[in-house]
Amino acid sequence: MNGSPSGIFDAPVSHARRYGASNDPVWLTLPACGLTVAAPHTSGQSKTGHVRRRSSDGAIMTAHFMKWMTTMTVTPSVWNVFAGAALRLAALVVGALSVAVAACATPVTQGALSPAVQVTPAFLPESNQFITQDGARLGLTVWPAEGTDNPEYVVVGVHGMNDYAEAFHMAAPYWARNGVTTYAYDQRGFGRSPNKGIWPQEELMREDLRTAVNVARARHPDAIITVVGISMGGSVALTAFGSDRPPKADRLIVSGPGLRGWGAINPLYRVSLWATAHANPDWLVVPPVGLVKIEPSDNNAMLRRTWSDPHMTYRTRIDQVYGLVALMENANTAVARLKPNVPTLISYGARDIVIPENGVRRAADILPSFVRTVYYPGGYHMLLRDLQAERVHADYLAFIQDPAAAMPSGEGEWPFRENCTHWASVDRPPVAC
Q: Tens digit of pLDDT for each residue in 376-386?
A: 999 999 999 99
The lowest-confidence range among 166-170, 184-188, 257-261 is 257-261
More confident residue, 143 or 93: 143
pLDDT digits (tens, 9 = 90+) for 220-255: 999 999 999 999 999 999 999 999 999 999 999 999
pLDDT of the residue at 97: 53
How many alpha carbons fall within 13 Å on the CB side of residue 432? 2
Strand partners, 29: 36
Mean pLDDT of 204-227: 99
Kindly give the pairing relationship between strand 109-110 and strand 199-200: parallel
Q: Are 414 and 364 contacting, i.e. CB atoms less than 8 angstroms apart?
A: yes
What CATH class is the domain 122-263+325-432? alpha beta
Taking 50 as the threshold, does the pLDDT of residue 405 lie above it?
A: yes
Counting residues of the chain whose pLDDT is more than 70, the rounded percentage is: 70
> Alpha-carbon distance 164 to 230, whole Å?
10
pTM: 0.76
pLDDT of the residue at 429: 52
Any alpha helices (H) in 351-388, and if so which ranges? 357-364
pLDDT band at 26 (very low <50, low <70, confident <90, very high): very low
Phi-psi region of 285 (alpha: psi -120 to 50; beta: other; left: phi over 0): beta
Mean pLDDT taken over the chain: 78
Q: Are 62 and 355 contacting, i.e. CB atoms less than 8 angstroms apart?
A: no
pLDDT digits (tens, 9 = 90+) for 117-157: 899 999 999 999 999 999 999 999 999 999 999 999 999 99
Taking 90 as the threshold, does the pLDDT of residue 400 lie above it?
A: yes
The lowest-confidence range among 207-221, 370-384, 416-430 is 416-430
